[in-house]
Structure 1
Amino acid sequence: MSKIILTVDDSRTMRDMLRMALVDAGFEVVQAEDGVHGLEVLLGAKPDVIITDINMPRMDGYGFMEGVRSDPQHRAIPILVLTTESSAEKKMRARDAGATGWIVKPFDPQKLVDAINRVAA
């Protein structure tokens, strides 16, 4: 059975690129446009891994990760942060919010798939 990946990014182009890379690798993809939408999608989806951006309208990636981690049902889902940000402070803040890993945009599709396979049990 293929793994389900939830991608949360406000950029349609980035969502499309993620969908292509992940579907090509055999994953099922569910998508959300920002943190608020991501938490709504989580109510009906059971993703194996979540990939989220940090900078988004309505609710950023930090708030989204905190929301995911505050729900016992979703607490254990690995979360990969995919962002243009690379400062140590932002990485630490993301870890504190619940991030499992960090990938800088633009992403290499194979490295993304490898990261997903590493964190998805």
Structure 2
Amino acid sequence: MAGKRVLIIDDDPDLVEAVSMLLETEGMEPLAAYGGIEGLEKARQESPDLIVLDVMMEDKDGFAVAKEVSKDQALRDIPVIMLTAVADHAMDSSYAPHSAIKSLEVDEWFDKPVDPAALVKRIKELVG
């Protein structure tokens, strides 16, 4: 896992810091972005090995970011893990209709709060 670069896109600085520290202990290099627009720019600049992406962000939500990643020739092969606090309500929510969720090409979904061991295990599987 040494040297694998993981881009964390979340508008919660505490979560970004916690996941960054977790990845560093596993020998990975965390890259941070604090919103969807910044995250897309950083993904294009840095070409990470994996993206950890929050759903609900102010400037550009995770659904829009994931859609852009999947359509971008340079980014579409990068695995994406979505973090959400709305997963249990997504099927009933006007924010995230069922069809929008099904159409996203993400590799994994994790509910917040995230189980650190499960997140690291899945990241290792995807970038291994």
Provide the TM-score with structure 1 as the length reference: 0.91
Q: CA deviation at 1:86?
A: 1.8
Aligned to 2:34: 33
When structure 1 is superposed on structure 2, of 39-48 and 89-98 the one drifting more is 89-98
SS of the residue 2:106 aligns to: coil
Residues 94 and 80 of structure 1, relative CA distance in 2, 3 Å threshold: farther
Which AA in structure 1 matches 2:100?
Answer: R
Q: Where does structure 1 differ by over 4 angstroms across 4 or more consecutive aligned residues?
A: none
Higher CA-based Rg = 2
Which AA in structure 2 matches 1:116?
Answer: I
SS of the residue 1:2 aligns to: coil
Aligned to 2:112: 105
Rounded to whole Å, the distance in 2 between the matches of 1:50 and 1:25 is 16
SS of the residue 1:107 aligns to: coil
Identity %: 30
Rounded to whole Å, the distance in 2 between the matches of 1:95 and 1:103 is 15
Q: CA deviation at 1:82?
A: 1.2
Provide the TM-score with structure 2 as the length reference: 0.86
User: Number of residue pairs matched?
Assistant: 121
Structure 1 residue runs of 5 or longer lacking an equivalent are none
Question: What value does the CA root-mean-square deviation take over the aligned residues?
Answer: 1.7
Spell out, residue by residue over 1:7-32, the C-alpha distance to the aligned partner (whole angstroms, 9 max, x if none): 00000111111111111111101111
